Amino acid sequence: MKSILTNKQIQLITKRLAHQILENHINLENTVLIGIQPRGIFLSDRIVNELQLLLPSNKIFYGKLDITFYRDDIRGEVKLANSTSISFSTENKNIILIDDVLWTGRTIRSALDALLDFGRPAKVELCVLIDRRFAREFPIQADYVGRAIDTFPSQKVFVRWKENQQKDEVLLDEAPLKTTN
């Protein structure tokens, strides 16, 4: 396993992402942040905490979105759903979706479908910790990126968070490419 990001780098990236969001949404007046369940909420919780430090008197609208039943890659499987917590309308709001890794784009496509159940947004932006470039199956691109990396499809990216694995780090499994003769 190769280290992609350390604890300190993740802390710095989280602060940077929060500042970049504020550059484009000065006071978050018409902006909502939504973390994608299950792994995107670790990053979204931290970004929201940073924003609250930067704007202590502003109300930050923050929700968590489960996309389990909107996915197209789990048909026929029994999945245990996470919870969705969006206690506000997203109608005509600027939405910032937050997830840990952007790879094929299927998760984000599912999130976009799920979001429509809460209203028609004015705009949707995407914030990710890791962007695995060159592997998209859908034309989806992040607006805010912690780190962009190039990987082979056979490789796996592991994002570990203190909250569920006692340590913040991002690792790349450097599994060799399987070739067929």
pLDDT in tens, 91-114: 999 999 999 999 999 999 999 999
pLDDT at 23: 97
Above 80 in pLDDT, residue 74?
no
* % of the chain residues with pLDDT over 90: 77
DSSP state of 21: H
Q: How confident is the model at residue 68 (pLDDT cuts 50, 70, 90)?
A: confident
Q: Which strands sit side by side in the sheet containing 2-5, from one edge to the other? A: 2-5, 169-173, 156-160
2-71+83-173 maps to CATH 3.30.565.10: no
Say if residue 167 is exposed, middle or buried (CB neighbours under 10 Å; 0-12, 13-18, 19+).
Answer: exposed
Contact (CB, 8 A) for 96 and 50: no
CA distance 168 to 6: 7
What is the value of pTM for the model shown? 0.91
CA distance 162 to 150: 25
Name residue, tokens 């990396």: 149
Above 80 in pLDDT, residue 178?
no
Asked if omega into 139 is within 30° of 0 (cis), the reply is no
CA distance 40 to 28: 20
Give 6-64 pLDDT, tens digit per residue. 999 999 999 999 999 999 999 899 999 999 999 999 999 999 999 999 999 999 999 99
Q: Which of 2, 8, 9 is nearest to 147 (CA)?
A: 9
Name residue, tokens 């006071």: 27
Taking the domains of the chain in order of start, what are their residue ranges? 2-71+83-173
Above 80 in pLDDT, residue 75?
no
Q: Which of 153, 110, 147 is nearest to 127 (CA)?
A: 147
**Token digits for 77?**
């499987």
Neighbours of 41 (CB within 10 A): 25
